[in-house]
Amino acid sequence: MIGYFINRPVAILVLFAALMAFGLVLIFQVPVSLLPAIDVPRMIVKVNFPNASARQVEDQVLKPIREQLSLVDDLTGLHSEASNHLGTVYLDFDYRANMSLAYIEVNEKMDRLLGRLPPDMPRPQVVRINTSDIPVVRIQVVPVSDATYQEVSDLTEKVLKRRLEQLPGVSVVDMNGQRGTVAILKPDRDRMNAFGITTSALLEAVRLSNMEIGGLNLKDGQYQYFIRLENQVRTVSDLGNVSVKGLSGQPVQLKEIASVEMDTDQLTGYHLYNGKPGVVVTVQAQAKSRMNELLPMIRSLVSAFQKQYPQARFNISQDQSFLLDAGIDNVKQDIILGGALTIGLLFLFLGNWASPVLMSISIPISLLITFIFFQLFGLSFNIISLSGLALGIGMLIDNSIVVIGEITRKRIAGLSVTDSAIRGTNEMAVPVISQVLTTVVVYAPLVILNGLSGALVMDQSIALTISLFVSLLVAFVLTPVLYKLLLKSPPERLKQDTVFYTFVRNRYHSMISFVLLKRKLFFAITLLVIALGVGLAFFIPFESLPAIEKKESLIKISWNEPLDLQENKARSLALIAKLSPVVAVSESDVGATQYIFQQDGTTIYQANVYYECASEKEKLLADRMVKQQLVRYPKCTFNILDAPNAFTQLFVNDEPYVRVKFKPLVKGGSAQNLDILTDWLKVNRVQYAPEPSMMREPAMRGVLDMEAMNRYQINRAEIDQQLQVLFGSAEAGAVDATGDKTRVLVTEASGSVEEKLDAVVRNSEGIAYPIRKFIRFEPVLQFSAISADKDGTYRSIALSEQPDIKAILNEITAEARSLGYDVDFTGKYFENRQLMRQLSLIFLIVLVMLYTVLAIQFESFVQPVIVMLTIPLGVAGACLLLLITGGTFNVMSAIGFVVVLGLIVDDPLLKIETLNKLADQYRKAGREYDETLLHQMIHEAGEICLKPLLMVSLTTSIALLPILFIGGIGNDLQRPMAIVIIGGLTIGTFFTTWFIPLAYWYIQKWTGKI
């Protein structure tokens, strides 16, 4: 087959030129994104239940939802959080689940459940999470004055939002901070009493006046007419003409007993930008969009908004394009600089210009052809996939190095160019394919990794695998053809080695001779290095993901007091003012938010404050200032987080080190026993923080006197409606004049509690009684939130990392059970243990797969063991460099270790294959297989393999150097992996140069062959 290709150079050159041109065109077709589009196996169901307590949200809404959704296919976890006005249900799925089908199933079950939910509550929203659901930009719309706020809010919702949605590549546009308008009816209590009009009569009259009736039609012979019953109320001003019947039976117009005015809907939250109220618009990109083209269009449109709508100021914040630019540019720099360093290294070893040029051109050719497969496999250009290419830059040239080296040796041996190209390529086919397989096969077990890490590794492994197999194609087909065309010089004129390589080769032979002379000493040194590598692993700290430079913070605040919204806003503004000297930009969501696609909701007692600083040093200073400001509020709890962006948001894990869930063994449980339990934790100096479900806040409880209601024949519905009007607002329909509905609310917001309790309710005979006769209010303490899972409600605390955590957990379990509570544990501590078990399993599977590949190649049970004994040497080198650089064990460094497993065996594989061929060759020549011949074979095989060994390991390592020395989010992520690979291939390869000959010598000795 190789001969067929070599004898048709024109066809091969034209074919590869066409493939390169095709790849060049497809570069501009492949989607560009920060991260690959991954279906995160999680959904949330958001519940908005205005004026409902946490207990009502739990009992009336969340509990039925949990019962209904617990039967969804592929569901692995379910829990909920109920707070005042809001509730959230979190659904976790198996990573193999089809999330599109799961989303449909969840919505179908929610539709079937609607009849069991409160009728006045909006339908719960089901939100599906995807990597592309993260906002790529936030647009701040700040009114120039408070007088224009409502105008700006309507403009944003009805015009700006729709214009943004029309941009190609935009998926969803979300909003927060908008304000709606409502018609407010304020009853005049004295006049209503004078006319004998009840609250229920007023509400009924307003509702009937704008009720729409459908399904009416009139038949007249052969004609049929549909009838639309026209409402009495066409505009808000018409409400004043609505008639209400009093006790006397005489109709009274609404305007005589109540005032009607347009007002802003009841505020439940604010959005602040640099301390000023405004509206924020978040924009999400489609999975297949090219972000590098979408973001400039968004900026251009925002600039047009600024010119067209002077009543507002527009700013872009949390623009994720800097992440895209920095991440993609990092990888591009790595590819370009790594490729340049690799090519420069080739000229250091090779004595002629043609060989390094032939090897070097395999890099751009392989990359261009790889882009074709990017399009075929649906991959995008993102940090993860391009990092796979950056990792493979040094490897792309490895196959050509080995093939060209063998062809050159055949030429020097006297064969023609054609025969040298054919025989050299054929003889290297098996070891080169084995090298690629040992590199690729180690990625397969990584699919075992749970979570997003496993999904991201998949993208990287596909990119690397494609590029390596393309480089294999280039090495076996194009490289021999180009060698024949470019290297036609006679063998005696081929200068193969440089002065530098000649020096290295001579030193290598001296070293091998000394090692074979001091075999036991060097064998002991090797075993010591292996033990050292294992020992070093215990001194390297563990974390889930590598540290990335952070300049942004997000403060999650819970005041744990029944504050009104204005006080929440005032406290948030005070915090922002305190931070202003060191903060460049700040955003705050105060109270309840209106985002549709936000995962976590907030209540009016909470606030989220985001700020960005110029440097990480200033961010840390701002974090300290936050602590100093918030300790002024003794009941306040807060959490200072590194602000998630479009990249880190997927990796942020809000789980505490250990979450302890207390579940009552008897229904209800005792709050007093919980207090005893928390006191026990304090006495034993356990470091913990109470979570919202364990925290209590002051509240008022209304108690109806049912006996008095029965005695005076007062209807419960009459009291409920009167209380709604007095202490909240009662919905009385909506006015629909121009297709834009305006809600009508009846409320009596002013006045003290005592004054409101003087309001009257009437019985069926029309006799009026003050409402205070039938209700009393008393102060109580209630839990701020209610947490629940499949097994029911629980209270929880969060433990921080502390010594002897296992003993602490056992003690907590024993104490809790003695107080009537069962205990369950979750958190990072258990996730990290599971991750370590998975990585250990992956390591074992990789070893088995490597042994299988090597045993098939060598047709031996023993020789694969020799090759695999070099793995601990590579691991030792990787651990040593990781420890020196202050690195950690994390997902990315673990991937580096797996890659080292595949690469460190390449030289031993080639060397054992060469030794086997030399042994067969000398046996056939009749040479006696003794110790002298074995020494000769070791030196000869070492010289044959030395140059490919050095070039392969050094080109792979040197191509990764830019990752170590160039900053940026892309390199921050890849740096631990690069450190491990460089340490494993440089330090590990140094030891393998003598260990493989030494191990081969001992195997021959022990098996009695010499």
- Give 428-455 pLDDT, tens digit per residue: 888 788 778 877 777 666 655 655 666 6
pLDDT score at 310:
92
Amino acid in the structure at residue 496: Q
pLDDT in tens, 377-432: 888 887 777 767 766 666 777 788 778 878 887 887 778 888 888 888 888 888 78
CATH topology of domain 497-549+827-1009: Multidrug efflux transporter AcrB transmembrane fold (1.20.1640)
Report the pLDDT averaged over residues 10-25: 92
pLDDT in tens, 541-598: 877 667 777 888 999 998 888 888 899 999 999 999 999 999 999 999 998 888 876 6
- Is residue 599 classed as helix, strand or coil in its secondary structure? coil
pLDDT score at 645:
67
pLDDT score at 315:
94
Architecture of domain 182-264+698-783: 2-Layer Sandwich (3.30)
Architecture of domain 1-30+350-494: Up-down Bundle (1.20)
Contact indicator for 895, 889 with CB cutoff of 8 Å: no
CA distance 735 to 745: 11
Q: Is the pLDDT of residue 274 over 90?
A: yes
pLDDT score at 643:
81
Q: How confident is the model at residue 266 (pLDDT cuts 50, 70, 90)?
A: confident
pLDDT score at 729:
82
Percent of the chain with pLDDT over 70: 90
CA distance 566 to 563: 8
Token pair belonging to 352: 């002629």
pLDDT score at 737:
59
**So where are the chain's domains?**
1-30+350-494, 39-130, 182-264+698-783, 497-549+827-1009
pLDDT score at 599:
63
Strand-pairing partners, residue 347, are: none
Terminal alpha carbon distance of the chain: 39
CA distance 30 to 289: 9
Q: How confident is the model at residue 945 (pLDDT cuts 50, 70, 90)?
A: confident
Amino acid in the structure at residue 81: E
Query: 497-549+827-1009: same fold as 1-30+350-494?
Result: yes
CA distance 116 to 86: 18
Q: How confident is the model at residue 139 (pLDDT cuts 50, 70, 90)?
A: very high
Which residue matches tokens 């939802």?
Answer: 65
CA 549 to chain centre: 17
pLDDT score at 31:
81
Q: Is the pLDDT of residue 668 over 60?
A: no
pLDDT score at 991:
84
Q: How confident is the model at residue 376 (pLDDT cuts 50, 70, 90)?
A: confident
Q: Is the pLDDT of residue 294 over 90?
A: no
pLDDT score at 458:
73
The values of phi and psi at residue 613, to 5°, are -115, 170
Select the more confidently predicted residue: 493 or 845. Answer: 845
Q: How confident is the model at residue 72 (pLDDT cuts 50, 70, 90)?
A: very high
CA distance 154 to 138: 18
The conformation of residue 32, written as its DSSP 8-state character, comes to B
Report the pLDDT averaged over residues 346-372: 81
Q: Is the pLDDT of residue 291 over 80?
A: no
Tell me what the pLDDT averaged over the chain comes to.
83
CATH number of 39-130: 3.30.70.1430
Contact indicator for 854, 909 with CB cutoff of 8 Å: yes
pLDDT in tens, 962-1001: 778 776 666 777 788 889 988 888 888 888 888 888 888 8
Contacts of 285 (CB under 8 A, 6+ apart): 33, 132, 136, 169, 170, 171, 291, 294
Contact indicator for 45, 106 with CB cutoff of 8 Å: yes
Q: Is the pLDDT of residue 601 over 70?
A: no
Which of 79-83, 212-216, 393-397, 943-947: highest mean pLDDT?
Answer: 79-83
Q: At what angle do helices 969-1006 and 519-537 cross, to 10 degrees?
A: 150
